[in-house]
Every structure is written in structure tokens, then in C-alpha cells.
Amino acid sequence: MRHANRDTDHLNTLRQYFAQNRRIPSYQRIADLLGFASRAAAVKFMGRMEAEGFVVRTVDDDAWMPARRFFEHPLAQATVQAGQPAVAIDVSAEPFLFDDYLVKKPADTVVVPVQGDSMIEAGIFEGDLAVVERTASAKLGSFVVAQVEDRFTLKELVKVDGTHALKAHNRRYPLIRPKGAWHIFGVMVGLVRRYQRY
């Protein structure tokens, strides 16, 4: 990014403003927000952000809106050890988009809040957000959202005695062997959890 140091800081300030207000402000507000001496400096900055692919103009050309790169995050080069401490994490300039990582079919993907404790032994807890790709079929061993008797449930798809069944990952819950009509709504392809609340 040109003017890398200052523009990166300014872009992050703009991202924080957007996260709190869900909009990109006017040129004058941008100038005030970023400490620019004039509105013209804000115009130049936004022009650079447009050229880099972070923002675009609305269809009516009356405001700015985030572009794809606006939601990038830096991806660390090193992995983090869950055992013994390792060397410091190197945060690179390689961009990372959560949607690229979790979502392969945007039109078929929904985010479903998890309720209950039937999957806790698989590390899926109440309050998590399951990223589900809609499909009518799934491989055995997949975690699926299935509709059984007009109710939706998240379970592992298994086969028992030659028949498909839905397995909970909590010993307190029995295996579900649907007797009536049921179908797979989608396959869980990812899980989102926030540990720190604001």
C-alpha cells in the first residue's frame, strides 16, 4: 500500500468507525476523524483506498461503501503452539478474509446459532455460530443440520445397522433414528465463537 504506515493506520481507524456505525462518513468527517488538515486530504486518501480496492462508490455515486478488501485481516506467518511456548508470532502483510476461508458457496451458506448442549463433546457449544452450507446430501461423519419432525437439529450423520441416524456428541443424549420423513438441510463447514464480549 502506498503511504503504507499512515494509510494503514488511517484505514484501521476507518474500519473501527464502520464497525461502530455501519457506514463510511463524509469527507469532512473523515478529515476530522483521521486528523487531516483539510477535506481535500480526505478526498485524496479515499482515492488511494479506492485504487487499492478497499472502498467503492455507491451506484448513485453519492457515498462510499466498503469493498472486499476492507474486511481483510493480517494472517500470521507462524502457527501458535497450544503446548510449549514458541517464538513470537510474526504478523505478515498477507491478507486473510474469513469469508474466503469459511464460505465456498455464498448463495448456499447460512449462519445458524447453536442452542443446547448435545454437541459439547465435539467442541460445539451453545452460543456458537455454525456456518452451514445448504445441501440435501452429506457424507457419513459430517456434522449436519437436519430437519426431523418439523424441528432442526445439529448432529453427526452416521449409519447404524444399515440405516442413517443422527448422533449427538453428549453421552446424555440418545441416537436419533428418524422413523418418519426427515431430510438434511445442510452440512456444517465451519464454526465461529467469540471468547471476549464487549
Positions annotated as catalytic residues are 118, 155
How many helices and strands, by DSSP H and E, does the chain display? 4, 10
Distance between CA atoms of residues 193 and 128, nearest Å: 5
Name 67's Cβ contacts closer than 8 Å, sequence gap at least 6.
Answer: 50, 53, 54, 55, 56
Task: Name the nearest CA neighbour of 156 among 134, 129, 126, 176.
Answer: 176
Residues pairing with 146 in the sheet = 153, 184
- What letter represents residue 14's amino acid? L
Give the separation between CA 177 and CA 43, rounded to whole angstroms.
Answer: 62
